[in-house]
A and B are shown apart, each in its own frame.
Chain A
Amino acid sequence: MAIADNSTDGSLHGVMRFVRSLAGFVVVVALTFLGLLAITFFIGRVVPIDPVLSVVGDRATQEQYDAAKIAMGLDRPLIVQFFSYVGNVLGGDLGQSVSTNRAVAADLVRVFPATLELATLGIIIGVLLGVPMGVAAAVYQGRAADQIIRVLALLGYSVPAFWLGLVGLAVFYAGLGWVAGPGRIDIFYDGIVPPVTGLLLIDSLIAGDTDIFFNALDHIALPAVILGFFSLAYIARMTRSFMLDQLGQEYVTTARVKGVAEWRVIWVHAFAPIRVPLITVIGLSYAGLLEGSVMIETVFSWPGIGNYLTVALLNADMNAVLGATLVIGSVFIFINKISDVLYRILDPRSRS
């Protein structure tokens, strides 16, 4: 049993392996990020017929236009332009926004927490409901519960987020008055609590202002539930398919042979091995919510990155569009790759 040989050089070996996989991870993330930069560069400089116009906007004067053209270095070869673009991005320079007249990077830092708060609450709702639903669907495969969950999950793939947002507003805000309307907080509460984390729910608690906390909760409830529904759809479906696979495994039968209680068979024997792949699914879903937040934020006037992106789109504010794309894309890639790594660290089968 050489595998279980945990002598000192064994752990040194383990450290070496960890370092190597960490290095591999960094390389992969860096390459993917470079690919992302290539895509945004391509979109910004190659696709538009007139990249200058798309950066300065169509309301620019001739002087602004010429200045921008020189500033962008469009006379230089494409590859040189690309590397100077990469250099700028790495230096935190995403250009100026023509709609806010500020640095895009500063704008993004300002709006990002609102999106983070929304997406995080959404994923929490999605996980808390989606995982048990997926497990139930697998355990009662083919029966009513499974069919209901299946249809609900498929609805998650078929309902436009922006439509659900509008209907939600019409019903729960205008109709029933259960939740607050668009925006992150009522205007007269705006800007009262000092930003610490940028997350209003947490900042208001830090400041000890429960009025603001409940007002913010009132505002975030509906968009978060709607985002949660979409992640629930995906998480429940994936959980179901993982669980079906598990329930057919021989070791689940072994557990039944031992006389283990059925809840334990399901939650300990069948569910435990899928916790690790589920982390990947949840990670992907979390990243997906960043994407989903574009539509939801637009409908709810939520001052986050999605709203920023759509406003920029409408103003043909290309620097802002690409900056937001870059940030969302980077977070997406990062979450993606992190869940890959977690997979390898957490699964005992890959530890030896």
Chain B
Amino acid sequence: MSAPLLSIEDLRVSFPTPKGRIEVVKGVTFDLGRERLGIVGESGSGKSMTGRAILRLIRPPGVVTASRMQFDGMDLMALSEADMRALRGARISMIMQDPKFSLNPVMTVGRQIGEALRAHERLPRAAIRARVIEMLNAVRINDPERVAKMYPHEVSGGMGQRVMIAMMLIPKPSLLIADEPTSALDVSVQAQVLDLIDDLVRETGMGLLLISHDLNLVARYCDRILVMNAGEVVESCAARDLHAASHPYTKGLLAAVPQMHETRDVLPVLDRSAWGGTGT
């Protein structure tokens, strides 16, 4: 492949605390082409901060530095806030975790989706409406006309997440970040939502950065996997080579995944001493 879609080198995110500034992302480096890249790691390992740093959404007092953060030939760190705004949504989009909190409670679903389009394209009202309905159809919502008029609290979690997907994909971005897109959903709809994302990504040829704490899920939906621990990437491999992972943390995570034909009585606990631990 030629130049990657996204190229990140030595990304660092830090926050001030009473004990001084602490880094929650400590020098993350990776490239992402038009492929599906997974970031996996425990809760608190800095995955979300990595995703948000790419969109430059970390607000003061948080501080982001990187020796390179390039998207489609543009230096993200050097862009003005206005240029960055033009990029957000239109070129890089992000599916947030929980539709209960990430959809505006006092705005109808249709308006919220339409707004994502209007932020980037000047279109007549009717055209926007048509696109919204079309997009709702694309995320497999029956009766989109009716759903568009609903408020977020009136739709279920699974449907809320489809609305979120519709909202983030309507301006046709070329990179989609999905930060734990199904963690807040019932197990029964998780696969449907992920399959939907997967289909849309394949259809449009976007790049996907799928963030999750679930190793299995990432292995299933991604081509390549980064394993993060305590703000650092500790392992990077193709999804199919995961079983051959070398880092003890990854091995620990793998060992903790229950198997279909389980013979163990007790699942092993991560032995943090093996790679130096995460603080405590």
The answer to whether any beta carbons of A and B sit under 8 Å apart in the complex is yes
User: Contact: A272 with B106, CB < 8 Å?
Assistant: yes
Within the assembled complex, what's the spacing in Å between the Cα atoms of A261 and B86?
Answer: 9
Which residues, 256 to 310 on A, are CB-close (under 8 Å) to B? 256-262, 268-269, 272-273
Within the assembled complex, what's the spacing in Å between the Cα atoms of A178 and B85?
Answer: 48
Closest approach, in angstroms, between the C-beta of B176 and any C-beta of chain A?
11
User: Contact: B119 with A251, CB < 8 Å?
Assistant: no
Of the stretches A79-87, A147-155, A319-327, A344-352, the one at the interface is A344-352
Residue B225, interface by CB 8 Å: no
User: Contact: A251 with B115, CB < 8 Å?
Assistant: no
User: Contact: B120 with A349, CB < 8 Å?
Assistant: no
Given contacts A251-B104, A259-B88, contact A4 B55 (CB under 8 A): no
User: Contact: A348 with B103, CB < 8 Å?
Assistant: no
B87 contacts across to A, CB distance below 8 A: 259
A121 contacts across to B, CB distance below 8 A: none
User: Contact: A258 with B116, CB < 8 Å?
Assistant: yes
Within the assembled complex, what's the spacing in Å between the Cα atoms of A253 and B102?
Answer: 8
Given contacts A250-B101, A250-B102, contact A258 B167 (CB under 8 A): yes
B93 contacts across to A, CB distance below 8 A: 257-258
Closest approach, in angstroms, between the C-beta of A348 and any C-beta of chain B?
5
Q: Which residue of B105, B150, B153, B168 contacts A257 across the interface (Cβ within 8 Å)? A: B168
User: Contact: A1 with B154, CB < 8 Å?
Assistant: yes
Closest approach, in angstroms, between the C-beta of B114 and any C-beta of chain A?
11
Which residues, 67 to 104 on B, are CB-close (under 8 Å) to A? 81, 85-90, 93-94, 96-98, 101-104
Residue A338, interface by CB 8 Å: no
User: Contact: A352 with B89, CB < 8 Å?
Assistant: no
A352 contacts across to B, CB distance below 8 A: 151, 153-154
Given contacts A258-B116, A259-B88, contact A4 B154 (CB under 8 A): yes
Q: Which residue of A4, A253, A348 contacts B96 across the interface (Cβ within 8 Å)? A: A253
A347 contacts across to B, CB distance below 8 A: 106
Within the assembled complex, what's the spacing in Å between the Cα atoms of A197 and B144?
Answer: 51
Within the assembled complex, what's the spacing in Å between the Cα atoms of A189 and B107?
Answer: 52
User: Contact: B107 with A272, CB < 8 Å?
Assistant: yes
Q: Which residue of B88, B98, B105, B159 contacts A258 across the interface (Cβ within 8 Å)? A: B88
B98 contacts across to A, CB distance below 8 A: 250
User: Contact: B104 with A254, CB < 8 Å?
Assistant: yes
Within the assembled complex, what's the spacing in Å between the Cα atoms of A159 and B66?
Answer: 50
Contacts A258-B115, A352-B153 supplied; 19 other A-B pairs, CB < 8 Å: A1-B150, A1-B154, A250-B101, A251-B101, A251-B104, A255-B115, A256-B88, A257-B57, A257-B88, A258-B168, A259-B85, A259-B86, A259-B87, A259-B116, A259-B120, A260-B89, A261-B119, A348-B151, A348-B153
Which residues, 4 to 53 on A, are CB-close (under 8 Å) to B? 4
Closest 10 CB pairs of A and B: A259-B89, A259-B88, A250-B101, A258-B89, A258-B116, A250-B102, A251-B104, A259-B119, A254-B102, A257-B94
B102 contacts across to A, CB distance below 8 A: 250-251, 253-254
Q: Residues on A close to B: CB < 8 A?
A: 1, 3-4, 249-251, 253-262, 268-269, 272-273, 347-349, 352
Q: Which residue of B103, B106, B107, B156 contacts A1 across the interface (Cβ within 8 Å)? A: B156
Closest approach, in angstroms, between the C-beta of A322 and any C-beta of chain B?
43
Within the assembled complex, what's the spacing in Å between the Cα atoms of A253 and B95?
Answer: 11
A260 contacts across to B, CB distance below 8 A: 85, 89, 115-116, 119
B90 contacts across to A, CB distance below 8 A: 259
User: Contact: A258 with B155, CB < 8 Å?
Assistant: no
Q: From DSSP, what is the main secondary structure of chain A's interface residues?
A: helix
Within the assembled complex, what's the spacing in Å between the Cα atoms of A253 and B116?
Answer: 13
Within the assembled complex, what's the spacing in Å between the Cα atoms of A254 and B102?
Answer: 6
Within the assembled complex, what's the spacing in Å between the Cα atoms of A349 and B150?
Answer: 11
Within the assembled complex, what's the spacing in Å between the Cα atoms of A352 and B155?
Answer: 11
Interface string of B141-181 (1 = CB under 8 A from A): 00000100011011110010000100110010000000000
User: Contact: A349 with B104, CB < 8 Å?
Assistant: no
Within the assembled complex, what's the spacing in Å between the Cα atoms of A348 and B167?
Answer: 21
User: Contact: B104 with A273, CB < 8 Å?
Assistant: yes
User: Contact: A250 with B106, CB < 8 Å?
Assistant: no
A349 contacts across to B, CB distance below 8 A: 105-106, 151, 153
Closest approach, in angstroms, between the C-beta of B161 and any C-beta of chain A?
12
Closest approach, in angstroms, between the C-beta of B76 and any C-beta of chain A?
14
User: Contact: B116 with A4, CB < 8 Å?
Assistant: no
Q: Which residue of B81, B103, B119, B154 contacts A3 across the interface (Cβ within 8 Å)? A: B154
Q: Which residue of B81, B96, B146, B153 contacts A254 across the interface (Cβ within 8 Å)? A: B96
B103 contacts across to A, CB distance below 8 A: 251, 254
A249 contacts across to B, CB distance below 8 A: 101
Closest approach, in angstroms, between the C-beta of B216 and any C-beta of chain A?
26
Within the assembled complex, what's the spacing in Å between the Cα atoms of A77 and B150?
Answer: 60
User: Contact: B105 with A273, CB < 8 Å?
Assistant: yes
Within the assembled complex, what's the spacing in Å between the Cα atoms of A106 and B120?
Answer: 63
Q: List 12 A-B contacts (CB under 8 A).
A: A1-B159, A253-B96, A254-B96, A254-B104, A257-B57, A257-B88, A259-B85, A259-B86, A260-B116, A349-B153, A352-B153, A352-B154
Question: Residue of B at shortest CB range from A143?
Answer: B60
Within the assembled complex, what's the spacing in Å between the Cα atoms of A28 and B73?
Answer: 65
User: Contact: B104 with A255, CB < 8 Å?
Assistant: yes
Within the assembled complex, what's the spacing in Å between the Cα atoms of A253 and B104?
Answer: 10
B155 contacts across to A, CB distance below 8 A: 1
Question: Residue of A at shortest CB range from B117?
Answer: A258
Closest approach, in angstroms, between the C-beta of A271 and any C-beta of chain B?
10
